[in-house]
Amino acid sequence: MSVQLGDTAPDFTQESTEGAIHFHDWIGDGWAVLFSHPKDFTPVCTTELGTVARLKPEFDKRNTKVIGLSVDPLKDHEGWARDIAETQGTALNFPLIADADRKVSELYGMIHPNADNTFTVRSVFIVGPDKKVKLTLSYPASTGRNFQELLRVIDSLQLTAKYKVATPADWQDGDDVIITPAVSNEEAKTLFAEKGFTEIKPYLRTTPQPNK
Ligand code: BEZ
């Protein structure tokens, strides 16, 4: 069974570069991004971890913790972390799970045997404060992920958790948003009284981003 949107993120305890991680306790009452990469000491993975380390202040701003994972042992993670510091202009500043026994990888379906029987693919799980899975992504080993896109999704998730809105295609923070269909025009007049809304079609209504 794969982990699907709306599921409670499977809880686990596993070793990491920052000691044992008890996943739900570690998340606390904020948000989390759990992402797997195929293998230590590989080029695309090295750039990904450097990128996430550089973006850490952006995740912090969003009350979101990040945690990486591969099926390599802790000793390899520690050696590789030195290479990341040397080559990426930043030290690793978030934990890397050492999932050598595949406990977490199997729990989350991060190994896709028809792609590679040995290593995890590039999976991403965004987990909310309620410990529910809000996003899943699977990228192939050969394609490094766009972590700006993950920040954009977190912005959208946090906005839609608070207001009765959704975000349109290619939305960026500050753009107009969409009023969800469950909201009547009468309710919309009250909810979005300050900024108003535009009815393009009865099912397509936009309003300026409420928290801007
Ligand atoms: C990489 O991170 O560069 C990589 C890892 C596994 C397979 C292909 C590329």
Alpha carbon separation from 150 to 36, 85, 88, 136, 183 (Å, rounded):
14, 23, 20, 11, 27
Instruction: Give the model's pLDDT for residue 148.
Output: 98
Q: What is the pLDDT of residues 172-187, one digit of tens each?
A: 999 999 999 999 999 9
Mean pLDDT of the chain: 97
Cα 194 from Cα 196, distance rounded (Å) = 6
Is 44 close to ligand 1, i.e. is its CB under 6 Å away?
yes
Q: Which amino acid is at 53?
A: A
Nearest to 145 by CA among 38, 31, 5: 38
Instruction: Give the model's pLDDT for residue 1.
Output: 66
CA 45–ligand 1 middle distance (angstroms): 6
Evaluate whether 20 touches 53 at the Cβ level (below 8 Å): no
Determine the atom of ligand 1 nearest the C-alpha atom of 119.
Answer: 6
Element holding 65 (H helix, E strand): strand 64-70
Reply yes or no on whether the pLDDT at 111 is more than 90.
yes
Q: Band of the pLDDT at 57, cuts 50, 70, 90?
A: very high
User: Best mutation site among 36, 45, 46 for ligand 1, i.e. most ligand atoms within 8 A of its Cβ?
Assistant: 45
Total residues belonging to the chain:
212
Is 51 close to ligand 1, i.e. is its CB under 6 Å away?
no
Whole-model pTM: value is 0.97
Is 141 close to ligand 1, i.e. is its CB under 6 Å away?
yes
Reply yes or no on whether the pLDDT at 119 is more than 80.
yes
CA angle 9, 15, 17 (to 5 degrees): 110
Instruction: Give the model's pLDDT for residue 73.
Output: 98
Instruction: Give the model's pLDDT for residue 44.
Output: 98
Is 39 close to ligand 1, i.e. is its CB under 6 Å away?
yes
Contacts of 130 (CB under 8 A, 6+ apart): none
Q: Band of the pLDDT at 59, cuts 50, 70, 90?
A: very high
Cα 16 from Cα 95, distance rounded (Å) = 6
Q: Which amino acid is at 7?
A: D
Q: Band of the pLDDT at 83, cuts 50, 70, 90?
A: very high
Q: What is the pLDDT of residues 135-169, one digit of tens each?
A: 999 999 999 999 999 999 999 999 999 999 999 99
